[in-house]
A and B are shown apart, each in its own frame.
Chain A
Amino acid sequence: MVCQYMGTDMLERELKRGSAELLILALLDERARHGYDLARLIDGRSGGTISFHVTSLYPTLYRMERQDLIEGRWVEKAGQRRRRYYRITTAGRKALARHRSVWENFVDALNRVARIKTA
C-alpha cells in the first residue's frame, strides 16, 4: 500500500502499515467482508487518493489474523462459490479505537503545524 503524499521512508513504512490496518479494521467494523470486497471499497471510498495495491492486502489480512485482530472463515452461499469472509474480533475493535485516536492526534498536529485542513 502506498500513501503518495508521505515523505521519509520510515514514517512511510509505519504509516503504511498503520493506515492499512486502520482501513481494514474500519471496513470490517461495519460488517464481515471478503478480500475482493475490501480491496474494491478501499479503492472506491478514498476516491482514488489512496491508491491501494491489493498485492499486499492478503499478507496484511493474514498478519492481522495471526494477531487475532480479525478472523477469517470460509462461507458457502447458495448458488455461489465459497468465499473467505473476514470479520473483526474484540481485540480488533480495541486496536481500531487506538488507531483512530492516534490518527486523530496526528492529523490534528499536522493541522496545527502546517495548517492543512482535512476533509
Chain B
Amino acid sequence: MDWKTRILTALETAAHAPQPEVIEELAQHAQSLYEAARAEGCPTREAERRVVAQIERWRLEAAMLRHASRRPAAVEPPPASVSGLGDVTLDVRYAARLLRRQPRHAVLTIVTMALGIAATATLFSVTYGVLLKPLPWPHADKLVQLGETRGGAPPRFGSFTNAVYLAWKDQATTIDGIAGWSARAVTLTGSGDPERVRIVSCSASLFPILGARPLVGSLFDEADETLRDPSVIVLSERLWRRRFGADPGVVGRRLELDGRPHAVVGVLPDALAFPDRFVLAWVPYRIQPATGNFLSMFNAIARLRPGVTPDQAAAEGSARGQNAPDTSLTTTAIFGNNGPVQVSATGFLDAATADVRRPLIVLFIGVGLLLVTATANVASLHLARLTTRRREVAIRAALGAGSSRVIRQLVVESLLLGLLGGAAGLGLATALLRGLPAILPAGFPRLDDIGLDLTVIAFVTVLSIGVGVAFGAVPALTVRRLNLAETLADRGAVAQSHGPRLRTAHLRLAIMAGQVAIACVLLIGASLLGRSFVKLLNVDRGYDPAGVVISMIPMQAPGYPPERRFELLNRILSATRRAPGVTAVAFTSELPLTAGGSTMAFTLPPRGPSRQVTSVQASPRIVSPEYFSMLRMRILEGRGFTESDTDTSPTVVVVNRSFARTYLGDAALGSRLPVTGYAPEEGEARESTVVGVVEDVRYGMAGDATQPEVFYTHRQMRGRLSVPVIAVMARTTGDGSSVVPALRTVVRDADAGLVPDRIMLLEDGVLTSLARPRFYAFLLGGFAVLAVIVAGVGLFGVLSYSVAQRSRELALRVALGASRMDVVRIVLRQGAVVTALGILAGVCASFILMRSIAALLFGVTSHDGLTYMAVPLALAAIAAAACFGPARRAARLDPLTGIRDP
C-alpha cells in the first residue's frame, strides 16, 4: 500500500508540505496501523478505512507538522535584486547563517583548510625568513661573499687567502671595501663565570662595509688591529646585557679570551650581529702579508660599488689575484695545486643560504602540493553538497537571481570558509613556529629571521582567499549548467536525470585522480629521502662509533705550552683508562666528524716511470697508539702504532687508503715520507717510514669524499704537543652517557683551568651530521602521510557518495539478476580506475620532478626502481582499503529499498 503518496496528497491539500522525513514516519505509522487491523481480522477495506481516518486526522493538524523536522530549517536567502556593498554584507550574513546551520560541514572544511594553510604558512615563514627576507645591514644587497680557487680547486678550509686579499685591497675599482673574518670558540673569563662563546675575528674594515653603528662606545679601526695585551673587543648586545647588565659604562672594562686580556671598546646591536646572532663578540684580526710559505685562510666579504655586478667584481679579483705572491707548497697544501687564482663573488644572502636553498624549495613545493590536495578535498566536498543544494539554487534562479548572483553567493560562502580556515591555520602556524627552533637542525641559517611577521600574515590572507575562491569556483561554475526544470522536478533527492550530476561526479573523480597523483609524488619523494637517510645512517664509515664518548679539551691559553699539553694529555689518558665502564682510550688531534682541521703539503721524489716530482696534499693527524684499535678501524696492510714506537725508535707513519692509492701506488709499506705534520726541531728525524695502511674513514657527511691522511703517533713527539685542542675518546661498555660525568672529573682533576669544549657521544655526532637529511626526510614524509590520508578520505567520500547516488541503479541491477559480487565489482572498478589513473600520473610526474632532489640523495638514484614499485603498490593497498566500505554498503543494498527510496 503506498501510504506515502496518500499522506502527501492529503497534507498538500491542506496547503502544508511537511519534510519528506515526516511523511516517511507517518507512512510507517499508517502501514503499522493497517497491519495491526489486518492482524485483528479486519477485512482489507475496513483496515484501509481506519488508516484513511487516521490520515484525515493528521490533515487537520498538518499545520503543526510543518516545522516538525530537526533537519536544518531553510535560511531565508538574501534578496536577488539588491546591489552594492550592502548586497555583499547580506551574502556574508546568509553564508554565516548557513554555516551555523551545518556545523559539521563547516568544521570539516575549516579543519582541513587550517591544516593545509598552517603547514604552508609555517614553511613559508621559514622559506621567506631564510631565503628572501633582506639582511639587516643597510644596502645588504650590495654585499658579496668572496671565494677563491686555485686551478679550479677550492681550499680545504676557509675561503680566501691573505695573498689575494692584499693584492686586491688597495687597488680595488669595483668594490668599496673588503673585509676578512673567521669564527671560533673561545673561553671567556672575567666579569663572571668562565664560558665558551663563539666570537668572530675580523679586519676593522668589516664594520664600515656592513654599515654597522655601535649601540655603546665605538667599533675598532685599523690601528686597533695591531694592539696586543690588551687587545680590543666589541661585545654583542646580548653578551653586554648578560655579563654587564647593560651597563652604559662598559667601555674600558677588561675581559680575557683564552687567557689573553681584551678591553671593551663598544657594543654592537643584536640586530646587526655578523654573520649571525650566535656570535657574541668581535675582535680585530690583522691580515698579514703572504711571504715565503706563510698563507692565512679566512672568509672574505666585500661591498660592491653602485652599478657593479658580482661578476664584474669577481673578474677584477681574479685579475688582481694574478699579482699575489707565490706561497708554493703552502698553496698546494690548502688547494691541492698551485694553479692560477680565480675569484668568485656571490650575493651574501645567497651564499649564506646556499646549502638550504634547494631543500627548502623542494619542501615548499611539497607543502604546496599538500595544500592543493586538501583544497581539492574541500572542493569535492562542496561539489557533493551542491548536488543536495540544487533545489535551493534552482528556486533562487527561478525567483530572479541571475547565475552570476548565485555564483557570487557560493563564492562568498567558500571565501568565508577559506578565511576562517586561514585564521585557524595562522593560529596553528604560530604554535608550530614556536616549536620550530627545537626541531630545525643545528646550524640552520637565519633562525632568528624566521617568524610570523606582516609578510607572512599577508601571505596567509592571500592564500586563504585564493584557496576559498579555488574550492568555491569549481562548484559555482557547475551552477551555470544547471537545468532549472529538471532540478525542480527531481525534488532534490531522486536522480531523475543523470545529466548534470554525472558531470559533477566525473569532476569529482578527476579531482580524486589528481589527489592520488599528488599523494604518489609526495610519497615517492619522501621514500627517496627516507631511503637516502637510512643509507647515510648505515653507510660504512670505516669505524664503529657505538658507545664511544669524545671530549674536546682546548689548551690555547699561554699557560699551556707544548710540553705541558703533552704531560696533561698523558695524565688524562691514563686517568680515563681507569674510569669505570671504559674499555679503551685514545687521543687524536682531529676529531672525526669535524670539518677543516689542518692540512699539509710536501713533495715526493720521482717514482715509477713518470719521473716527475709529486706534490702531495694530506691531512696530518697526531694520534695515540690505541687510536686504530679503539675506533675499530681496519688495518689493510702492515701494522698500526705500538708502544715500542717512541722517540728513540725510527719515526713511523700510518697512511690511509686514499693516501696510499693517490700517492704511493702498490708499494705503500716502507715508503719514506718527509715529516711535515708537525715542526721537527734541529737534529730530529726529517723522514719517516710508512708502516701501515688503514681503511678510509668518513668524518663529516657520509657522502663527502675521503681525504688523503697521514697518521703520526704522539709518542714520537719528543714530549711536546703542538695542537691547541686535544680530543680524548673512550670506548665504553654501555651507551657511553654514564661515563660522561667521570670524564669531566678526570679533566678537572688534571688541571682546574681546563674547560672541556663539549663531551658527547660519537654516535650523537654522527646523528648531528645527519640532522638535515633527517629533517628533510621527516618533513616531506609528514606531508606525504597527510596527502595519503587526504586522498584516502577523499576516495572513501567520493565512492560512498557515488554508491548513495547510484543506489537506485545498483538496486535495479540486483533486482534484474546481478549478483552482489557484480555490484561490488562496479564500485571497485570505479575506485580502481581513479587510483590507477592517479598513480600513473603521479609516477610520470615523479619521474620528472625527482630530478630536482637528486642532489639531496645519497646511495639512491632519483629513479630508484624499488621506490617506484613499492609506492604505487602501497597506494593501491590504501585505495583498496578506502573502497572497502562503500563496496560493502553497495553489496548490502536491499533491492526493494533501493528502488523505492531515494
Interface residues of A (CB under 8 A from B): 34-36, 39-40, 53-56, 58-59, 62, 65-66, 72, 74, 81-84
Contacts and interface: CB of A to CB of B under 8 A. Distances in A.
Contacts of A40: 36
A65 B68 CA distance: 9
B42 to A, nearest CB: 15
B61 A59 contact: yes
Contact of B28 (A53, A62, A72, A83): A83
A66 B154 CA distance: 79
Given A36-B28, A65-B70, A84-B28, A58 B65 contact: yes
A55 B57 contact: yes
A41 B519 CA distance: 57
A52 B810 CA distance: 43
Given A39-B29, A55-B58, A59-B68, A84 B897 contact: no
B176 interface: no
B421 to A, nearest CB: 30
A36 B61 CA distance: 17
6 contacts: A36-B32, A39-B29, A65-B70, A74-B21, A83-B28, A84-B24
B60 interface: yes
Contacts of B67: 62
A55 B61 contact: yes
A116 B61 CA distance: 35
Contacts of B65: 58-59, 62
5 closest A-B pairs by beta carbon, nearest first, are A59-B64, A62-B68, A55-B57, A36-B32, A36-B29
A72 B25 CA distance: 11
B28 A34 contact: yes
A56 B67 CA distance: 14
A35 B29 contact: yes
Given A36-B28, A36-B33, A53-B57, A84 B64 contact: no
B358 to A, nearest CB: 56
Given A58-B25, A84-B25, 18 more contacts: A35-B29, A36-B29, A40-B36, A53-B57, A54-B57, A55-B57, A55-B58, A56-B64, A58-B22, A58-B58, A58-B68, A62-B67, A62-B69, A65-B70, A81-B31, A83-B25, A84-B24, A84-B28
Contacts of B32: 36
Nearest to B56: A55
Most buried by A among B24, B25, B57: B25
Consensus secondary structure, chain A interface: helix
Contacts of B28: 34-36, 81, 83-84
Interface of B: 21-22, 24-26, 28-29, 31-33, 36, 54, 57-58, 60-61, 64-65, 67-70, 897
Consensus secondary structure, chain B interface: helix
B655 to A, nearest CB: 81
A54 B61 contact: no
A81 B57 contact: no
A58 B33 CA distance: 15
A58 B57 CA distance: 12
Nearest to B25: A84
Contacts of A72: 70
Contacts of A55: 54, 57-58, 60-61
Contacts of A74: 21
Contacts of A34: 28
Given A35-B28, A81-B897, A84-B28, A56 B61 contact: yes
Contacts of A56: 61, 64
Contacts of A82: 897
Nearest to A56: B61
A98 to B, nearest CB: 23
Most buried by A among B22, B28, B31, B67: B28
Nearest to A35: B29
Contacts of B31: 81
A117 B586 CA distance: 104
A84 B29 CA distance: 10
A54 B68 contact: no
Nearest to A74: B21
A58 B36 contact: no
A81 B54 CA distance: 21
A35 B21 CA distance: 13
Nearest to B27: A81
Contacts of A59: 61, 64-65, 68
Contacts of A65: 70
Contacts of A84: 21, 24-25, 28
B33 to A, nearest CB: 7
Contacts of A58: 22, 25-26, 58, 65, 68
A44 to B, nearest CB: 11
B844 to A, nearest CB: 44
Nearest to A36: B32
Contacts of A35: 25, 28-29
Nearest to A83: B28
Nearest to A81: B28
A54 B33 CA distance: 11
Nearest to B61: A55
A45 to B, nearest CB: 16
A67 to B, nearest CB: 11
A39 to B, nearest CB: 7
A54 B60 CA distance: 12
A55 B29 CA distance: 11
A14 B530 CA distance: 73
A72 B71 CA distance: 11
A69 to B, nearest CB: 13
B29 A66 contact: no
Nearest to A34: B28
A59 to B, nearest CB: 4
B57 A66 contact: no
Contact of A54 (B21, B29, B36, B897): B29
B900 to A, nearest CB: 9
A83 B28 CA distance: 7
B103 to A, nearest CB: 16
A72 B24 CA distance: 13
B837 to A, nearest CB: 35
Contacts of B36: 40
Contacts of B25: 35, 58, 83-84
A48 B572 CA distance: 104
A62 B25 CA distance: 12
A36 B24 CA distance: 13
A55 B59 CA distance: 9
